[in-house]
Amino acid sequence: MIGGGKDAFIGAVHRLAMNMDGQVELVAGALSINPDIAVESGKMLFLDEDRIYTDYKVLLEKEAAMPADKRIDFVSIVTPNFVHFPPAMMALEKGFNVVIEKPITFTLDEAKQLKVKLEETGLSLLLCHTYTGYPMVKQAKQLVKSGALGNIRKVYVEYPQGWLSTFLEKTGQAQASWRTDPKKSGKAGCMGDIGTHAFNLAEYVTGLQVTELCSNINIVVEGRMLDDDGAAFLKFDNGATGVLMATQIAAGEENNVKIRVYGEKGGIEWKHEDANTLLVKWLDKPTEIYRTGGGYNSSFAAHNTRTPAGHPEGFLEAFGNLYRNFALTVRAKIDGEQPKDEWLDFPGVEEGVRGMAFVENVIESGKSDVKWKEFIV
Amino acid sequence: MIGGGKDAFIGAVHRLAMNMDGQVELVAGALSINPDIAVESGKMLFLDEDRIYTDYKVLLEKEAAMPADKRIDFVSIVTPNFVHFPPAMMALEKGFNVVIEKPITFTLDEAKQLKVKLEETGLSLLLCHTYTGYPMVKQAKQLVKSGALGNIRKVYVEYPQGWLSTFLEKTGQAQASWRTDPKKSGKAGCMGDIGTHAFNLAEYVTGLQVTELCSNINIVVEGRMLDDDGAAFLKFDNGATGVLMATQIAAGEENNVKIRVYGEKGGIEWKHEDANTLLVKWLDKPTEIYRTGGGYNSSFAAHNTRTPAGHPEGFLEAFGNLYRNFALTVRAKIDGEQPKDEWLDFPGVEEGVRGMAFVENVIESGKSDVKWKEFIV
Amino acid sequence: MIGGGKDAFIGAVHRLAMNMDGQVELVAGALSINPDIAVESGKMLFLDEDRIYTDYKVLLEKEAAMPADKRIDFVSIVTPNFVHFPPAMMALEKGFNVVIEKPITFTLDEAKQLKVKLEETGLSLLLCHTYTGYPMVKQAKQLVKSGALGNIRKVYVEYPQGWLSTFLEKTGQAQASWRTDPKKSGKAGCMGDIGTHAFNLAEYVTGLQVTELCSNINIVVEGRMLDDDGAAFLKFDNGATGVLMATQIAAGEENNVKIRVYGEKGGIEWKHEDANTLLVKWLDKPTEIYRTGGGYNSSFAAHNTRTPAGHPEGFLEAFGNLYRNFALTVRAKIDGEQPKDEWLDFPGVEEGVRGMAFVENVIESGKSDVKWKEFIV
Amino acid sequence: MIGGGKDAFIGAVHRLAMNMDGQVELVAGALSINPDIAVESGKMLFLDEDRIYTDYKVLLEKEAAMPADKRIDFVSIVTPNFVHFPPAMMALEKGFNVVIEKPITFTLDEAKQLKVKLEETGLSLLLCHTYTGYPMVKQAKQLVKSGALGNIRKVYVEYPQGWLSTFLEKTGQAQASWRTDPKKSGKAGCMGDIGTHAFNLAEYVTGLQVTELCSNINIVVEGRMLDDDGAAFLKFDNGATGVLMATQIAAGEENNVKIRVYGEKGGIEWKHEDANTLLVKWLDKPTEIYRTGGGYNSSFAAHNTRTPAGHPEGFLEAFGNLYRNFALTVRAKIDGEQPKDEWLDFPGVEEGVRGMAFVENVIESGKSDVKWKEFIV
């Protein structure tokens, strides 16, 4: 693991997700750029002392030099955005598979370079768009794919948060500080941090791709350096339209990501607040409540479910599903076997490239007086 | 009543709303342009035969000629949009107060003419934006007005319907036929029919006014003559922004109008599906559930509540509140008394003018390649 | 109307319910035992002065003496429980149909006398178990009746309120005072006031009858004279069992009556808080959300629905449904026509007798050390 | 781990819960009484071959013989009920701490023996009443304890399931087979399996103890050997009363455990379906929505929360909390430190004894014609 020292939020989440299924063991780490914290954090995690590194380059060098049965199988990169690309590229060059937090890189160009490198090496990359790990999101995708809703016409996707309602970065809060800093976060704040999740969710569930967009991007809290609020109209490649909303200044909101998709015959609605429920609406019959664990679900939902219906599966399980599917795929490839379709259903570099393109296009559109902007990758 | 013969949807709703509080009695009607239906409908409603008219002009003429204690106090116009203005203007000229369905007129210019006439005559006009009649919508407005949420920053308002998901007007269904016909409905379909409700709700609850907008207007169902789907970014006069969504092709949706407003300190959420609940969210304390009938509500909510907490008040009660407040105001004015603030809190010609301006601006923006359009009244 | 002077809660509700559909006109009243209030209330309701009475006996005498086309068609009795029977019996003797608040009488014996008299006279009686007027409660009954759920096995019905959490009657509050007074309310407080609603709802929806019960009856608030809390195990005539809970000391609760019924193949759930929704659960497929106004509903639900799906119908509409069905039935009988099955689906004297039997049996069981008590009518 | 071979439900859940926080490592197992399955399961879990046992006695003997720094710290017993006591007692005798599935033993007497042994040895025991591991259940307990609700008056607790709606054991389904078999499950079916959860939840949240009960116990599905449905009236040691409902034949229900507790000033409501929400109701102000991760929560809720507000924590996290608190306590005791109050807040032998007493009392009451039965431990 690179990054994710003690007190880092997302590193801890990654470790919980890894541990969950007993398929993955954390054995080495360069957990902080601060050597003292790196060492202290490594000890807290029971790492062998000789595999606690203070520099990710050293980690990758030394692990690569170990025998195949001892060295790491993949590396998880959970650093701020501006430190995604260098360790990811180096890891691929050293022959390691990669898990990386979203957004995949600092710039679109870096994402494309990773894509090329992955094609060259045949290695795997997991990009942590966690929401696509929920069984009911997978069920939504399969329902759309099955054609049950007819041709898709309209998509609403939203991600309201309230945690940046105040000028939090001024207080020195670590999360707020780097996420609102263009040098560390990139061109976008809100749009990069949660807008990319909404965008990914829309494309994942519908199986469609955005071709044009028109955005309104705002900095609401005075003094902030990056956008903390925005919305975009979307056009998809089948002619459907959509609205995407993401904000970090919706005071009182938690992380209630929500998607609604409507086709000719019906629609689906999923929201994070009630993550084990999928509403399926029909033109002329009662709305149905699909639930995690229901015997009527697709193999994709079932494969990503751990407990019987009625036992809520949460965010960590969704995250764990990403790791589990990635691990199953990596192991199958190592073993020379063909991974199952259900295992391969995790976000990767293609989603990363499109996510970075979203960031670039949505920010550019926000600055433009022209309404529609072609979605350029 | 003008319009609203047997089988007309909204005329029946008006009569239910009128009846509710026993404050209003229907005594005369020109209920259809078809004389047979007009007569038959009048008889079904137990009208005196000499006050069943087959022409609204005759109705207004004859009623105006009656003695003051016998003639109607006001006229309700529940005809399709293109027959709003002529009877409304004539009624005002004859000295009658007016209740009118939204949108107020066929064109913005007509709405402005009504406004001038109302100022000249001192008469009253009720425009049926029903959602503002719900106690919890009134409570939301009062909470915003009190400053409890701080300065308002973001507004999301939406009105998803599914009833026009198919090419229903082709089947001859009466509602669908006139509402999708530009000769009867006006410049807009979806935006006029339900977009105006969403727009009005946003301005009503926030007390703010839209100054600019950027819209995406669509005809989704092939063959349809007017928009059946759309969305708009909004800018408000205090600098807040918003997103408005209205669609009639969200297959499986009923009439789940919803508004969310966020200020510096908290936010509110109200949705039609759970109309007696208002969620009040806070930056740093638990969300509160305000309920119709709660002893903690404002006088505006309390005045518009008929039953103790826990007895759901529905759409007809909200509609009845509009009629009751209008009737209380008209009677007070007849009696030379000052209506209470709570009574005066009903939508009127000002909302009608702004609603028509919304229709014109949102449709024009939809056709434009330039992103933002000034909201011109 | 007998009782229901100004400030009386339920009288006002009755008038709203009557008015709703324009089928019923209030023309005469003995609205209070206090003559001044009776007169003042009558004037407020625009009654003709010669039909404002100060004594129900005089009302019934004088109205009975009027010509058939002028006198009242039925009388609504909205007095406290101990003044239900005398005016009801006298009204029937005078040939008037009767609307009466629940519980139908002060004692079971009185209820039986009314039943005999109704059989003798062929007149109609409406007992105001309002919850059975909701479209989705009617739909629940029809679903059970259709056999879709299979044989019924389990019933949970509950009515939690919080308004008597304090010793409210001590403050002189009118409602609390008579409802907790055994001389005015009868043998039971909570069980009579809301327990009877829960009991009626269970028998109505399932179409079954209780044959045995075992109760726990409590006075929770010190100083109170009647039960304010209780629960009962139920046995039904098909072998199913149930649990009934009713309380008035659930601090913070409104009137969230709820019923769940489970058969071999599925179950239904309805709650007052979300009255336009009926959940239909299945052993092996997704739960379905039935909604008021849905095209898939039975004729019984449809007949009791006024507005299209998505426009919430509330308590007053449910109450209005009782009045409307009663009025339709009375008119049909006057006209010598056969009322439709949908019209006849309102609670009457049979439900009244069983409700009074519930009061007597549940209170007696509460005092007994023996577990099960036969349900004796 | 004893029991929990491949395909066993609850063993897998235990392993997920153990893994979650990286505090516990599974190193040895006697995973099945079938030696082949024991070995195969051990290999699937990457156990060292010499610590894969085919007999729990051998496991306990051999592990006890290992040096202190190598042998297991505690043993998890996840066998059917009738194989709880022997390994638990032997483990305690060998000096191992114990984790055990509920109900703790086959008989009340066995539970009492474990209690004595635990007092003698000073070892720790975790009993897996998972619902008490949810942050919002802990918050509910703390709210009651704080006195904010006033004296507690009423408790409703329910656990409806539908999975035994059919004669599932006849099909040979493993779970159904042993859970409905009195030789393996004990005196009770439904009441032991889920009734004990409901009972424990009521005592945990209120801090009160049941002193008397009156039950109705049923076998609904023909041919079944143990109860699959039941309810009980409860009396608590402070004078409060309650109703407990548990059923396995509520067709269409999942595992929606729910508890409501009412005091003089307010009440709380928690349900498994929405496990990260706690409703707090008040006599005279809006209901509050407490949420997992809210900054206003008690230290007990906060300690058991892994992710920021808005990231749903599910059943496995609740289960993980039990394991984590147990592990923290065991380690502190090993290290000679005083465990924190938040760590000690896990169910143990006392809850086990009361749970077994519940089983015995509720079944005995079910057979009795006398209404109330003293709750004898």
Q: Residue B6's pLDDT band (boundaries 50, 70, 90)?
A: confident
Mean pLDDT over D162-171 rounds to 96
Cβ atoms of A92 and A75 closer than 8 Å: no
- Extract the tokens encoding B375: 């909201």
Closest chain D residue by Cα to residue B287? D289
Q: Is D290 on the interface with B (CB under 8 A)?
A: yes
Mean pLDDT over B139-148 rounds to 98
* A361-375 pLDDT per residue, tens: 999 999 999 999 999
CA distance A296 to chain C (A): 6
* Chain A to chain D Cβ contacts (< 8 Å): 101
Q: Which CA distances in Å does D64 have to D60, D95, D119, D286?
A: 6, 8, 20, 57
Q: Residue C8's pLDDT band (boundaries 50, 70, 90)?
A: confident
Query: Tell me, what's the pLDDT at A334?
Result: 93
Residues of chain B with C-beta less than 8 angstroms from the C-beta of A264: 165-166, 251
- Extract the tokens encoding D373: 């039965």
Query: Tell me, what's the pLDDT at C23?
Result: 80
Query: Tell me, what's the pLDDT at C159?
Result: 98
Cβ atoms of B352 and B103 closer than 8 Å: yes
Residue D174 above 90 pLDDT? Answer: no
Cβ atoms of D133 and D318 closer than 8 Å: yes
Query: Tell me, what's the pLDDT at C360?
Result: 98
- Residues in chain A, overall count: 377
Closest chain A residue by Cα to residue C290? A286
Closest chain D residue by Cα to residue C234? D216
* C136-161 pLDDT per residue, tens: 999 999 999 999 999 999 999 999 99
**Percentage of residues of chain D with pLDDT beyond 90:** 91
Residues of chain D with C-beta less than 8 angstroms from the C-beta of C162: 262, 267, 281, 283
Q: Is D128 on the interface with B (CB under 8 A)?
A: no
Q: Is A237 on the interface with C (CB under 8 A)?
A: no
**Percentage of residues of chain D with pLDDT beyond 70:** 100
Inspect the interface and report whether the beta carbons of D273 and A312 lie closer than 8 Å.
Answer: yes
Mean pLDDT over B90-118 rounds to 96
Which class for C324: exposed (0-12), middle (13-18), buried (19 or more C-beta within 10 A)?
A: buried
* C27-36 pLDDT per residue, tens: 999 999 899 9
- Out of A274-288, B355-369, D146-160, D173-187, least confident range: D173-187
Using CB atoms, which residue from B160, B162, B266 is nearest to A251? B266
Using CB atoms, which residue from B150, B241, B370 is nearest to A218? B241
- Extract the tokens encoding A91: 């890891």
Query: Tell me, what's the pLDDT at B45?
Result: 87
Find the helix or strand (DSSP H, E) in which A204 lies.
Answer: helix A196-206
Q: Is D295 on the interface with B (CB under 8 A)?
A: yes
* C250-273 pLDDT per residue, tens: 999 999 999 999 999 999 999 999
Query: Tell me, what's the pLDDT at A190?
Result: 98
* B318-365 pLDDT per residue, tens: 999 999 999 999 999 999 999 999 999 999 999 999 999 999 999 999
CA distance linking residue D309 with residue A315, whole number of Å:
11
Q: Is A271 on the interface with B (CB under 8 A)?
A: no
* D328-352 pLDDT per residue, tens: 999 999 999 999 999 999 999 999 9
Q: Is D229 on the interface with C (CB under 8 A)?
A: yes
Q: Residue D293's pLDDT band (boundaries 50, 70, 90)?
A: very high
* A158-185 pLDDT per residue, tens: 999 999 999 999 998 988 999 999 999 9
Q: Is B85 on the interface with D (CB under 8 A)?
A: no
* Chain A to chain B Cβ contacts (< 8 Å): 127
Query: Tell me, what's the pLDDT at A25?
Result: 85
Mean pLDDT of chain B: 95
Closest chain C residue by Cα to residue B45? C22
Residues of chain D with C-beta less than 8 angstroms from the C-beta of B285: 288, 296
Interface chains of chain B (3 or more CB pairs under 8 Å)? A, C, D
Closest chain A residue by Cα to residue B245? A243
Mean pLDDT over D264-292 rounds to 98
pTM exceeds 0.80 for this model: yes
Query: Tell me, what's the pLDDT at D18?
Result: 86
Q: Residue C318's pLDDT band (boundaries 50, 70, 90)?
A: very high
Residue A22 above 80 pLDDT? Answer: no
Inspect the interface and report whether the beta carbons of B315 and C311 lie closer than 8 Å.
Answer: yes
Q: Which residues contact C183 (CB under 8 A, 6 or more apart)?
A: C82
Mean pLDDT over A92-102 rounds to 96
Using CB atoms, which residue from D26, D255, D309 is nearest to A311? D255
- Most B CBs within 10 A among D281, D289, D298, hence the mutation to make, goes to D289
Interface chains of chain C (3 or more CB pairs under 8 Å)? A, B, D
- Most A CBs within 10 A among C139, C278, C287, C296, hence the mutation to make, goes to C287
- Extract the tokens encoding C287: 């739960």
Closest chain C residue by Cα to residue B254? C310
Using CB atoms, which residue from A153, A158, A371 is nearest to B220? A153
Inspect the interface and report whether the beta carbons of C296 and A284 lie closer than 8 Å.
Answer: yes
Closest chain A residue by Cα to residue B241? A218
* B188-208 pLDDT per residue, tens: 999 999 999 999 999 999 999
Q: Residue C190's pLDDT band (boundaries 50, 70, 90)?
A: very high
Residue A7 above 80 pLDDT? Answer: no
Mean pLDDT over C53-60 rounds to 95
> Does residue C182 have a cis peptide bond before it, meaning omega lies within 30 degrees of 0?
no
Using CB atoms, which residue from D13, D310, D316 is nearest to A254? D310
CA distance D251 to chain A (A): 13
Which of A315, A271, A269 is closest to A288 using CA atoms? Answer: A269
Q: Is B251 on the interface with A (CB under 8 A)?
A: yes
**Percentage of residues of chain A with pLDDT beyond 70:** 100
* A182-209 pLDDT per residue, tens: 999 999 999 999 999 999 999 999 999 9
Q: Is A308 on the interface with D (CB under 8 A)?
A: yes
Q: Which residues 35-74 of chain B have a CB within 8 Å of chain C?
A: 45-46
**Phi-psi region at B240: left, alpha or beta (left = phi > 0; alpha = psi -120 to 50):** beta
Mean pLDDT over B224-247 rounds to 98
Q: Is C282 on the interface with B (CB under 8 A)?
A: no
Inspect the interface and report whether the beta carbons of A310 and D272 lie closer than 8 Å.
Answer: yes
Q: Residue B44's pLDDT band (boundaries 50, 70, 90)?
A: confident
* D52-110 pLDDT per residue, tens: 999 999 999 999 999 988 999 999 999 999 999 999 999 999 999 999 999 999 999 99
Which residue type does A347 have? Answer: P
CA distance B116 to chain C (A): 34
Q: Is B315 on the interface with C (CB under 8 A)?
A: yes
Inspect the interface and report whether the beta carbons of A251 and B245 lie closer than 8 Å.
Answer: no
A14-53 exposure pattern, b = at least 16 Cβ within 10 A, e = fewer: bbbbbbbbbbbebbbbbbbeeeebbbbbbeebebeeebbb
Inspect the interface and report whether the beta carbons of B314 and C309 lie closer than 8 Å.
Answer: no
Residue B22 above 80 pLDDT? Answer: no
- Extract the tokens encoding C158: 């509950």
Place of tokens 């740093």: B284
A13 or B209, which is more confident? B209
Closest chain D residue by Cα to residue B291? D286
Residue D278 above 80 pLDDT? Answer: yes
- Most D CBs within 10 A among B274, B285, B297, B298, hence the mutation to make, goes to B285
Quick one: three-class SS letters along chain C? CECCCCCCHHHHHHHHHHHCCCCCCCCCEECCCCHHHHHHHHHHCCCCHHHEECCHHHHHHHHHHCCCCCCCCEEEECCCHHHCHHHHHHHHHCCCEEEECCCCCCCHHHHHHHHHHHHHHCCCEEECCHHHHCHHHHHHHHHHHHCCCCCEEEEEEEEECCCCCCCHHHHCCHHHHHHCCHHHHCCCCHHHHHHHHHHHHHHHHHCCCEEEEEEEEECCCCCCCCCCEEEEEEEECCCCEEEEEEECCCCCCCCCCEEEEEECCEEEEEEHHHCCEEEEEECCCCEEEEECCCCCCCHHHHHCCCCCCCCCCCHHHHHHHHHHHHHHHHHHHHCCCCCCHHHHCCCCHHHHHHHHHHHHHHHHHHHCCECCEECCC
Query: Tell me, what's the pLDDT at A19?
Result: 83
CA distance C283 to chain D (A): 5
Closest chain D residue by Cα to residue A26? D22
Residues of chain B with C-beta less than 8 angstroms from the C-beta of D286: 280, 288-291, 294, 296
Using CB atoms, which residue from B284, B288, B291 is nearest to D288? B288
* Chain A to chain C Cβ contacts (< 8 Å): 34
Which of D6, D12, D2 is closest to D315 using CA atoms? Answer: D12
Mean pLDDT over D213-239 rounds to 98
Q: Which residues contact B336 (CB under 8 A, 6 or more apart)?
A: none
Q: Is B282 on the interface with A (CB under 8 A)?
A: yes
Q: Is A283 on the interface with B (CB under 8 A)?
A: yes
Q: Is D293 on the interface with B (CB under 8 A)?
A: no
Q: Is B312 on the interface with C (CB under 8 A)?
A: yes
Structural domains of chain C ordered from first start: 9-123 (3.40.50.720), 135-309+351-367 (3.30.360.10)
Using CB atoms, which residue from A254, A309, A315 is nearest to D291? A254
CA distance linking residue B241 with residue B232, whole number of Å:
11
